[in-house]
Amino acid sequence: ETVLSKPSTAVLTFNIEFAGKKAAYKDIPMVMQAQDLNSAHIKCTITIKLSDFEIKSPSLLTMAIKDDIPVTVDAFLKISSNK
């Protein structure tokens, strides 16, 4: 088995539930770097929309806040076997 020495890329699908509503975000590009044979570090940014969850964009001092909200995912994944 080989540990990846360089980051690799892939695409993910995120199913997000927020405020009782669900939305799927497909084909989100991510970068993955293996840490060792059993773990990896992933990073990506998902741009969610408040309107996807039927939330009205609030305003601040009469200026509307954008519908798009970038969400950064920075996670470590551990692979475990069911032996």
**3 state DSSP class of 23:** strand
Residue 83: predicted pLDDT: 61
- What's the number of CA atoms in the CB half-sphere (13 Å) around residue 83? 3
- Model confidence over 13-49: pLDDT tens digits? 999 999 899 999 999 999 988 888 788 899 999 999 9
> How far is it, in rounded angstroms, from Cα 44 to Cα 37?
21
Structure confidence at residue 1 as a pLDDT band (50, 70, 90): very low
**3 state DSSP class of 82:** coil
- Residues in contact with 40: Cβ distance below 8 Å, sequence separation at least 6, in sequence order: 4, 32, 33, 34, 76, 77, 79
Residue 8: predicted pLDDT: 87
Q: What is the pTM of this model?
A: 0.70
- Model confidence over 48-76: pLDDT tens digits? 999 999 988 777 777 778 899 999 999 99
